[in-house]
Structure 1
Amino acid sequence: MRGMGMMPAHRRKPMSEINVVPYIDVMLVLLVIFMVTAPMLTQGVKVDLPETMSDPIQSDKDVESIIVSVDSNGAYFLEIGDENSDPMSLGEVRTQVSKILSERSAREILVRGDEHVEYGTVVRLMAELQGAGATSVGLITEAPSTEN
Structure 2
Amino acid sequence: MMLVLLIIFIVTAPMLTRTIAMDLPQRDSRPTRPLPPPEPIELRLDASGQLFWNAIPLPLRELQPRLQEAMAQAGNNAPDVRIDASPDADYDAMAKVLAAAKNADVQRIGFVQ
Whether the TM-score (by the shorter chain) exceeds 0.5 is: yes
How far apart in 1 are the matches of 2:58 and 2:80? 20
Runs of 4+ in 1 over 4 A off after TM superposition: none
Q: Which of these residues, 25, 29, 46, is aligned with residue 71 of structure 1?
A: 46
Structure 2: segments with no counterpart, 5+ residues: 1-35
TM-superposed deviation, 1:101? 0.8
How many residues align? The count is 76
Q: With structure 1 as the length reference, what TM-score do the two structures score?
A: 0.47
- Check the 8 A contact 2:42/2:81 in 1, yes or no: yes
Judging changes above 3 Å, is the alpha-carbon distance between structure 1 residues 65 and 118 closer, same or farther for their aligned structure 2 residues? same
How far apart in 2 are the matches of 1:65 and 1:72? 22
How far apart in 1 are the matches of 2:82 and 2:45? 11
TM-superposed deviation, 1:93? 1.3
Q: How does 1:41-120 map to 2 (within 5 A)?
A: 62-79=37-54, 84-85=55-56, 87-105=57-75, 106-120=78-92
- DSSP 3-state at the match of 1:93: helix
Q: With structure 2 as the length reference, what TM-score do the two structures score?
A: 0.60
Deviations 1:2-52 (A, max 9, x none): xxxxxxxxxxxxxxxxxxxxxxxxxxxxxxxxxxxxxxxxxxxxxxxxxxx
TM-superposed deviation, 1:133? 1.7
- Check the 8 A contact 2:37/2:79 in 1, yes or no: no
Give identity over the alignment, percent: 17
Paired residue for 1:129?
101
Alignment RMSD: 1.6
How far apart in 2 are the matches of 1:126 and 1:136? 11
How far apart in 2 are the matches of 1:72 and 1:140? 15
How far apart in 1 are the matches of 2:108 and 2:39? 15
TM-superposed deviation, 1:63? 2.9
Bigger helix fraction = 2
- Check the 8 A contact 2:46/2:89 in 1, yes or no: yes
How far apart in 1 are the matches of 2:110 and 2:37? 18
